[in-house]
Amino acid sequence: MKKTIVTDTKILSQVCSEVPDNKRVYDDLFKNLIDTAMAAKNPGAAGLSANQIGELYTAFVMLYNGHYICVMNPKILTVSKKKKLDYEGCLSRPNSGPVEVLRHREIKIRYFDPISEEHITRTFKGFDARIVQHEIDHSKGVLI
């Protein structure tokens, strides 16, 4: 079900908790995230965090290789020393323009994929790494 994207900084600045190990909870959460992300009228929308639809969980969806992947309870394993300064936007800040943000060029995370019901370790590079870091920041209550 498509949800309204949250713009209230009081909600977005809260630290999120892990998604419980409850299939019904995470199935509903990720269905809502994907439906809302797909309905976003922003062609640059590459990711969406749970708190952006009012669910204070450490979870997000992102476009990866042309389809949405679901990331639940990610843990950062390593980040590259090299960083890059680039522009980012945010669906929860529709009236502000792009902001320059310094991000690691690579990030390796371990997360639970609710679709395959497996833990996955994956390294993201470039723009994908930027998306992952942006969405993980959301779960920590950090906004650009």
pLDDT digits (tens, 9 = 90+) for 73-116: 999 999 999 999 999 999 999 888 899 999 999 999 999 999 99
Q: Is the pLDDT of residue 43 over 70?
A: no
Helices and strands counted in the chain (H then E): 3, 7
Domains within the chain, CATH numbers bracketed: 9-139 (3.90.45.10)
> CB of 39 within 8 A of CB of 2?
yes
Please tell me the distance from the alpha carbon of residue 125 to that of residue 131, in angstroms, as a whole number. Answer: 10
Nearest to 49 by CA among 57, 144, 41: 57
Q: Does residue 135 have an active-site annotation?
A: yes
Q: What residues pair up with 15 in beta bridges, in sequence order?
A: none
Catalytic residue (one of 55, 88, 106, 135): 135
pLDDT for the residue numbered 96: 83
